[in-house]
């Protein structure tokens, strides 16, 4: 009898010895003993073997081998094994993962893992639910809390709010802090009276005091926003956020970092604030990365580094942070912190637009209109997004769709339909008034009506749209509509457009002051305006500045600068500039027939 009892008790003693070896750091010996006992049919040892494979203790790590041995233990009733399997499936496994396969039949994932391969891991909530239910039924409070999470946050076909509350409640009764967090958050959202709100706060407080980082983050949010009947208290909020931040909760690190930057609830400390934001961003918090971009683009002088800003904006944009994608596009468009690149600007505008930023749609459309080449599919998708906005009653979407249709962005030009959408947008969008007037004036997609066309463009001009100001001014200079000329008002409109930075307006001001109009000639002033236009890349402005410098009009002669600006104009294909360059060597060089303002300004 004694011998039989000794044989019966030898396995538990061996298991205890293996666990002792593991604690003492003798991981290889421990694994060998666990494996021997597991192969002999001990479920507890099988669970330990699975844990060793999953963590790489005493053996090369392998998800397949770990899952296979853990499954053996779970099917034998080891509740911790069921919880482990449920956790694996909830966190994500490779597509087609089969825990019945051994490593020899499957593949070792972690001994020679490709970092990009882990990105293909997907949660399998159906399997996670099966094993969590098995563990929960066996009394595992961890499995009960996980089951509550699966019912609360799993895919729609699995979600069951009542089941989530039940299993979170079971876990709470067993002392689970994760259960307290889950149930507290549900009660916080569903609370209808003070008693329910108090119960939610008590559960969240218990989880926070127990060291659950997400609970501390939730408490920080509650006191920051004055939610759940609690008063707003920035200092209390900051203390909770700090605890959560120290427990490596990225969202809390981001909130606490922002509080440090702004001095809300804590004393302002920009250095520490930047440090917490950086930790949050590296932890995957896109908002923190975007905030770092903001700090480095327009923060204190210590941090004002546009190149660094662009890096953080890109990190945020790559994580689907819509505002960051649009800002990054603007940086590429303006060459701020990155080399100017209109194609990359268009890429990020498109990225922001596909994430739902309607303004980015307009920005992308403007780049395409300016000649930036984009794939046909991208342009087609742009037009479809704008059509959805327009058909949904968005006036700005209707305007942008009208422009795309008028210019053939995303499909064949259709000026008749363009006129329709611009007409719908004209009362609420200034730019639509201008484009609607243009189509009427030119008779594109509608019977020509110059008087009405001018009237609509004038409405846009009176509201300060630079392009409308220039177009209306041109008509007032030339008398294109009923012979009406008003050079004084034209001058005001050109000046208004120039103040907005429109190169064409600077050139037209130079032409007005250059003489031949109902405005006193002022050559020095004309020369200044031609120079402003030239500096902004306006070809005719560059040619006229070169001529003024060559002839000493409105200021001293400067043959070297004259040659430079004439060369710039010639590169833009202006034949008159090239003729001036060809005759530059002769002292008697004269300007060929100088175009009038009417000839140099195309009608809108």
Helix axes 430-442, 450-462, angle to 10 degrees: 160
Domain boundaries, the chain: 1-111, 466-583
Mean pLDDT by 10 residues, the chain (604 residues): 39 83 89 90 92 91 90 93 92 79 42 47 90 94 94 92 94 94 91 87 94 95 90 95 96 96 94 95 95 87 86 95 94 91 92 90 82 87 91 90 89 92 90 92 93 94 93 93 91 94 93 91 94 92 93 92 92 89 60 40 35
For position 206, what pLDDT does the model report? 95
Tokens of 521: 């000639």
Q: Which fold has domain 466-583?
A: 1.25.40
CA 510 to chain centre: 43
Residue given tokens 């959560």 in the structure block: 244
CA distance 572 to 117: 51
For position 9, what pLDDT does the model report? 44
Q: Do 466-583 and 1-111 fall under one CATH topology?
A: yes
For position 115, what pLDDT does the model report? 43
For position 11, what pLDDT does the model report? 58
Residue given tokens 């005719």 in the structure block: 540
Q: Which fold has domain 1-111?
A: 1.25.40
The CB-based long-range contact list for 374-380 (8 Å cut-off, 24+ gap) reads 374/346, 374/350, 378/350, 379/409, 379/410, 379/411, 380/410, 380/411
3-state secondary structure 97-160: CCCCCCCCCCCCCCCCCCCCHHHHCECCHHHHHHHHHHHHHCCCHHHHHHHHHHHHHCCCCCCC
For position 596, what pLDDT does the model report? 38
CA distance 70 to 135: 12
């Amino acid at each position: 009898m004694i011998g039989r009892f000794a044989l019966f008790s030898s396995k538990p003693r061996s298991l205890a010895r293996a666990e002792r070896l593991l604690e003492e750091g003798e991981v290889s010996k421990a694994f060998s003993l666990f494996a021997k006992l597991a192969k002999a049919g001990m479920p507890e040892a099988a669970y330990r073997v699975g844990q060793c494979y999953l963590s790489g203790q005493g053996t090369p790590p392998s998800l397949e081998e770990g899952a296979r041995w853990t499954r053996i233990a779970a099917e034998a009733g080891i509740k911790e094994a069921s919880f482990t399997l449920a956790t694996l499936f909830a966190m994500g496994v490779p597509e087609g993962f089969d825990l019945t396969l051994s490593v020899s039949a499957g593949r070792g994932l972690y001994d020679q893992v490709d970092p990009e391969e882990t990105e293909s891991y997907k949660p399998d909530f159906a399997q996670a639910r099966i094993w969590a239910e098995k563990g929960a039924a066996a009394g595992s409070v961890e499995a009960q809390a996980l089951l509550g999470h699966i019912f609360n946050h799993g895919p729609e076909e699995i979600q069951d709010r009542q089941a989530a509350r039940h299993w979170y409640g079971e876990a709470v009764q067993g002392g689970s802090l994760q259960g307290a967090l889950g149930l507290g958050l549900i009660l916080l959202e569903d609370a209808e009276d003070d008693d329910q709100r108090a119960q939610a706060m008590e559960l969240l407080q218990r989880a926070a005091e127990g060291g659950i980082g997400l609970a501390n983050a939730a408490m920080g949010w509650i006191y920051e926003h004055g939610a759940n009947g609690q008063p707003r208290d920035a200092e209390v909020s900051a203390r909770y956020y700090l605890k959560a931040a120290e427990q490596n909760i990225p969202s809390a690190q981001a909130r606490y970092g922002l509080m440090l930057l702004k001095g809300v609830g804590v004393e302002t400390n920009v250095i520490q604030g930047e440090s917490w934001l950086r930790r949050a961003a590296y932890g995957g918090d896109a908002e923190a990365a975007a905030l770092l971009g903001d700090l480095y683009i327009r923060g204190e002088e210590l941090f004002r580094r546009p190149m660094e800003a662009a890096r953080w904006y890109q990190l945020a944009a790559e994580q689907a942070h819509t505002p960051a994608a649009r800002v990054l596009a603007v940086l590429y468009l303006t060459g701020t912190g990155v080399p100017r690149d209109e194609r990359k600007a268009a890429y990020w505008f498109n990225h922001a637009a596909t994430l739902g930023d309607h303004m980015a749609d307009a920005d992308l459309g403007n780049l395409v209109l300016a000649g930036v080449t984009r794939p046909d599919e991208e342009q087609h998708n742009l037009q479809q997004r704008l059509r959805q906005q327009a058909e949904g009653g968005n006036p700005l979407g209707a305007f942008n769709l009208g422009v795309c249709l008028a210019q053939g962005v995303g499909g064949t030009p259709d000026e008749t339909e363009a006129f329709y959408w611009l007409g719908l947008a004209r009362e609420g969008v200034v730019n639509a008034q201008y484009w609607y007037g243009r189509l009427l004036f030119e008779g594109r997609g509608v019977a020509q009506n110059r008087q009405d066309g001018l009237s609509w463009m004038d409405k846009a001009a009176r509201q300060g749209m630079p392009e409308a100001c220039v177009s209306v001014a041109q008509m007032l200079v030339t008398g294109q509509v009923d012979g009406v000329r008003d050079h004084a008002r034209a001058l005001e409109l050109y000046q208004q457009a120039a103040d907005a930075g429109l190169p064409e307006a600077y050139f037209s001001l130079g032409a007005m002051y250059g003489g031949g109009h109902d405005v006193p000639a002022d050559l020095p002033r004309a020369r200044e305006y031609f120079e402003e236009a030239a500096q902004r890349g306006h070809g005719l402005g560059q040619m006229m500045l070169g001529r003024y410098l060559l002839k000493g009009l409105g200021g001293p002669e400067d043959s070297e600068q004259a040659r430079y600006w004439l060369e710039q104009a010639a590169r833009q294909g202006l034949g008159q500039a090239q003729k001036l360059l060809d005759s530059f060597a002769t002292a008697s060089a004269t300007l060929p027939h100088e175009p009038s303002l009417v000839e140099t300004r195309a009608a809108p």
